Amino acid sequence: MSQVLVVNCGSSSLKFAIMDGSGAAPLLEGIADRLGSEHSNITFKFNGQKVEQPLHEHDHKGAVTAIKQWIDDHKDLNIQLVGIGHRVVHGGETFSQSVLIDEAVLQGIDDCSKFAPLHNPAHVKGINEAQALFGDLPHVAVFDTAFHQTMEADQYLYPIPMRLYREHHFRKYGFHGTSYRYISAKLASLNENFGSQNTLIAHLGNGASVCAVRAGKSVDTSMGITPLEGLMMGTRSGSLDPSLLSFISDAEGISMKQALDILNKESGLKGVSEISNDCRTIETAQAAGDDRAELALNMFASKAAKHLASVATNLNSVDHLVFTGGIGENSPVLRDKICERLKMMGVRLDQNLNQTCPRGEISQISSDTSSANIWVIPTNEELLIAQDTLSLIDKH
C-alpha cells in the first residue's frame, strides 16, 4: 500500500510519521528534539517498540537523514513512500488549500514568515532538507490557516486603518485549520444532514482555539494573525487589552518583545496556576484543594465558553458542539465546566457519558434535553495531511 511520510518541523524539533491514509495506526512515528543543541536526539516508535538515539548532525538535516537511514535499514517492512506531506503553520492569504510544492510555493511559505517567524522558516528548512534527500518524491504543503480562508471580511478584518491591511495584510488568519477540517469531515460521515448544519468546535490543548462551521466551512475562529489571540491556553494569555504590553514593558523595564514573550510563554494556565501548563497536573492540584489551580481551570473554562458563544453569533443555530485536542478529548472536568457556562444556549451534558467516554474514541455526551449534540471526537491532523498528499499526487 502507498505510504506518506508526514513531517512537522518546528524551530527546534521535527515530528514525523509514516501513514497510508486509511486511518490505520502509523507504521512509524517519532520526534527529533533539541535541534540546534549538541544534545539533540531522535526517537522512533514502531511495532510497539521505542528506540532513542543521538543525532550525528544536530539540525533539521540530521533529523531527516536519520529518518531516511531508518527506512533504508528496515527494508523488511516494505515501506513504499509515494510522497512527503509537510505541515505548514501559516499560509497567509496566498494558500487556501493544500498544494504540491514547487519553487513558487516555497517562496510563498517563506514570504509568510513575517507572520510566523518561529515556524515558517523552520518549515522551509525542513522542506529543503526533505527535498534534498527524497528528491524523487512529490512534496505537499498542508496549511493550518487554509481552512479559515472562507471567513467573510467582516470577520477577518481588524478595526484598524484599512491601509494597514492593504499594505501589510494585517488581519485574522486563524489556526488549527487542519484539525477543524478533519473534525468536520468526521462529523459529516456521522450525520447525513451535516451539509446544512451548524457546528461549534473547541480544539483545546496547550494551544487552544474555537471555530464556527457552517455547512462544512469556517465562518469565524478565535485565533488571529498569530495563535496568541483568543482563548487562554497552556502558556499563552489569549485576548487581553493590548495596552497591557506597554504596562508590562514599563513596569518590568523590558522591551515590548520581551513583554510579548511573557504573554506567549509564561501566561495562561501556567501563569495563573503557578504550577504547570499541563491541565492534568493542575486538575490533580485542584482535587487536592489548591485554590490557584481551581482559579486557573475556571478561567480557562470561562474564556473557552465566552469565545464559543462569540463565534456562535455567526450561526443561525448550533446543531453540534465538538470537543477535540488533548484537553478537549481527555478532560471531563473542563468539558463540564465549559458546558455549564453555555446553558443559556441550551447545551446540556450527560454527566455519566461525559465521565465514562472511552479515550481515543468518538463519543456523544449530550443529554436528551440538550439543544445541540455534544461530541468528543479525537483529531488526527497527520492522517489528513497524508490523505491530502495522496489525493494531490493522484490528481497530478
203 annotated binding-site participant: yes
Q: What are phi and psi of 64, to 5 degrees?
A: -65, -40
47 annotated binding-site participant: no
204 annotated binding-site participant: yes
Residue the block writes with cell 522542506: 127
15 annotated binding-site participant: yes
Grid cell at residue 263: 504573554
373 annotated binding-site participant: no
- What does the alpha-carbon distance between residue 339 and residue 279 come to, in Å, rounded to a whole number? 17
207 annotated binding-site participant: yes
From the number of C-beta atoms within 10 Å of its C-beta (0-12, 13-18, 19+), residue 53 rates as exposed
58 annotated binding-site participant: no
- What does the alpha-carbon distance between residue 54 and residue 41 come to, in Å, rounded to a whole number? 4
Cα 162 → chain centroid: 29
- What does the alpha-carbon distance between residue 114 and residue 117 come to, in Å, rounded to a whole number? 6
330 annotated binding-site participant: yes
- What does the alpha-carbon distance between residue 383 and residue 4 come to, in Å, rounded to a whole number? 10
75 annotated binding-site participant: no
In the residue annotation, 111 being an active-site residue is answered as: no
Amino acid at 323: F
Catalytic residue among 20, 33, 59, 144: 144
Task: Enter the DSSP assignment of 115.
Answer: T
Q: Residue 254 CB: number of other CB atoms within 10 A?
A: 14
205 annotated binding-site participant: yes
Grid cell at residue 129: 532538507
327 annotated binding-site participant: yes
38 annotated binding-site participant: no
| Residues that constitute the known binding site | 8, 15, 87, 203-207, 278-280, 326-330, 381
| Residues that constitute the known binding site for Mg(2+) | 8, 381
Active site residues: 144
| Residues that constitute the known binding site for ATP | 15, 203-207, 278-280, 326-330
| Residues that constitute the known binding site for substrate | 87
